[in-house]
Structure 1
Amino acid sequence: MSATKVLKICTHSGSFHADESLAVYMLKTLKQFKNATLTRSRNPADWEEADIVVDVSGKYDGVKHFDHHQREFNTTFNDQYKTKLSSAGLVYKHFGKDIISENLDLDPVSNSKEIEFLYDRVYRDYIEAIDADDNGINKYANHDDLKPLFRDRNFQISSIVSNLNPPWDSDATDADFDAQFAKASEIMGVAFMNFLTYMGKSFLPAKQYVEKAFADRFNADPSGKIVVLDRFVPWKEHLFNIEKENNAVGEILYVLFKDSSNTWRIAAVPLSSSSFDSRKKLPEAWRGLRDEELSTFTGVPGCVFIHAAGFIGGAKTKEAVLELAKQSL
């Protein structure tokens, strides 16, 4: 019986970036490339010998060559995106569904809907920014009009990777660059896997809890404007999608849930999943009050706080936050 062939991954030598650091890591998470060797080289003979070539060679065929530097290259993830792909996006475009199914242990057939959802969301919320950064695409269409309040250049993951390159005056060898690339690939990969695991194991399963709470909303209050979760789950985006699916966009005003300290929270539903502005904030007269002062003012025992901005509050029991929500309506 012949030994299984050891596959070879090749990327370019010298200075490295976030995109190929992640591309190589993603490939190595697949069973197909788990034991593959990595060569970093700009020698065409090494490209020819490799089974897959990433971020070098001037070719893209979706089979062996995954480079984006050629002049005519203009590939995006799909028709919904305008960002040109980097090597990370190219690898993800062709191997992303396998990366998701293998790393999250999802069956490609029975979990096809979940995989399809994650395939798009992981690109949108993680990979696309790496593609844009590597291709020099600004986040803002009119960057000159925006004055930043702080500098985050060295906090961005692409810059963290870039700073791992040996200094220009260090007389670093190819071996030194290779060693630092291994660190960069690990950093990019761990961050990616943490996000993928969160999306697949935490965010996606949370939808069933929000669906049940939405279905039971009239049991919480006849208005149907209050949703009660018996435990905290990531609920905002799921709620917006569930409302849309049920022709109830904008109807839910407050979400109640038990927090990690075993007390209860009342959250005003935001205008969007990333907004602090709410559909209906908690009453202005309550904002900033705490504990006994808040309980006396509202007539609700066991109050803990109402945030000064009016988007969230807390109480010791489910009954208390439910009463605060009813009064807030």
Structure 2
Amino acid sequence: MTNVTIATHNGNFHADDVFSIAALKHIFPSFKLMRTRDVALIEQADIIIDVGGEYNPDTGRFDHHQRGGAGKRENGIPYSSFGLIWQKYGLAICNNSQEVADSVDAGLVSVIDAIDCGHVEGVAQGISLSHTISLFNPTWQEDGDFDRCFDEAVSFAERVLSRFIATATGGISAKEIVAKAIENAQDPRVIVLEKYTPWKRTVHSLSQQALFVVYPSETGQWRIQTVPVELGSFEDRKPLPKAWAGLSDAELQAVTQLSDATFCHNGLFIAGAKSFESTMKMAEMALAEN
């Protein structure tokens, strides 16, 4: 579809209408945006967002302010206009990956919907992305142009949405790589990755035996890292040897008898050596430690 006209309300804006426009920029290479409360102009638009009192995705109507709203998710979070847009276009925006689209909905879209609809249960307190978007509005002391500020907020939201999609895509790809590494591990207690890949969530979901993960760092050296007892925990399934705590270079080399050992964190959750072979020997020593 070309020459698309999209309408939303003018004046003060919120995260749901801002992110809706940001999302649609992934779908339509160009469109005419009208920010207005003029009913006659709104009704002429191809897509209407956050205004108009109607939800009908087949006719491009995406409002949620009508009596009864526009539905809610299985977890009880109601849809704002952003969620309604995401229901229709999210899969296409995420290159037809339902897993990525669902991840972005869970981490971004549904949170914005919840805040916009006043469904605050389970939503973290403090400075939110929705609040951040609201800060783009001119204050009562400023002679700001709401439309210009809206465009600035949309540009910011475009970048945020793109990063959420990239992060979700990376996380799903990482899951496949780490799952394969768990399957191929010679010792199920030591998972070896050929390159650094986010691993904690997958290791926790797929392996109860894994104690250490070995991977190369961006410097070309190698790392051994402990597996925490649960996500976000500072307690490990098995810490590194106490004798290594806080040592580096010559001191650590003397204790380990490894000529290229480089460091061990004082918290005993990560250590390293220059070579893969030495790092695997560190894993052997850590496994043997009582």
TM-score by length of 2: 0.89
> Counterpart in 1 of 2:257?
299
- 1:322 and 1:257 map into 2 onto residues whose CA distance is 10
Shift of 1:225: 0.8
> Counterpart in 1 of 2:91?
97
Among 95, 107, 131, the alignment partner of 1:125 is 107
Q: Which amino acid aligns with 1:67?
A: D
Q: Which amino acid aligns with 1:96?
A: G
Among 117, 138, 163, the alignment partner of 1:166 is 138
Residues 48-68 of structure 1 deviation map (CA, whole Å, 9 limit, x = unaligned):
111111111222223322122
Give identity over the alignment, percent: 34
Among 62, 66, 69, the alignment partner of 1:70 is 66
> Counterpart in 1 of 2:19?
22
Shift of 1:139: 5.8
Shift of 1:185: 0.5
Q: Which moved more, 1:18-27 or 1:4-13?
A: 4-13
- Superposition map of 1:245-284 within 5 A: 249-284=207-242
- 1:12 and 1:171 map into 2 onto residues whose CA distance is 19
Partner secondary structure for residue 38 of structure 1: strand
- 1:74 and 1:61 map into 2 onto residues whose CA distance is 9
TM-score by length of 1: 0.79
Shift of 1:217: 0.8
- 1:53 and 1:6 map into 2 onto residues whose CA distance is 15
Shift of 1:74: 6.0
Residues 173-226 of structure 1 deviation map (CA, whole Å, 9 limit, x = unaligned):
xxx1111101101101111112212332x33333343233223211xx4xx210
- Superposition map of 1:236-251 within 5 A: 236-241=200-205, 243=206, 249-251=207-209
> Counterpart in 1 of 2:9?
12
Are 1:178 and 2:147 matched, yes or no?
yes
Partner secondary structure for residue 10 of structure 1: strand
Among 92, 109, 119, the alignment partner of 1:137 is 119
Partner secondary structure for residue 204 of structure 1: helix
Shift of 1:229: 1.0
Residues 43-88 of structure 1 deviation map (CA, whole Å, 9 limit, x = unaligned):
2212211111111122222332212223412623x42x22222221
- 1:273 and 1:119 map into 2 onto residues whose CA distance is 23
Q: Which moved more, 1:156-165 or 1:119-128?
A: 156-165
> Counterpart in 2 of 1:313?
271
- 1:281 and 1:70 map into 2 onto residues whose CA distance is 56
Q: Which moved more, 1:208-217 or 1:51-60?
A: 208-217
Q: Which amino acid aligns with 2:247?
A: L
Q: Is the 8 A contact 2:2 2:30 kept in 1?
A: no
Shift of 1:5: 5.2
Shift of 1:170: 3.1
Gaps spanning 5+ residues in structure 1: where?
Answer: 102-107, 109-114, 244-248
Gaps spanning 5+ residues in structure 2: where?
Answer: none
Shift of 1:324: 1.6
Superposition RMSD in Å: 2.3
- 1:186 and 1:302 map into 2 onto residues whose CA distance is 48
> Counterpart in 1 of 2:81?
87
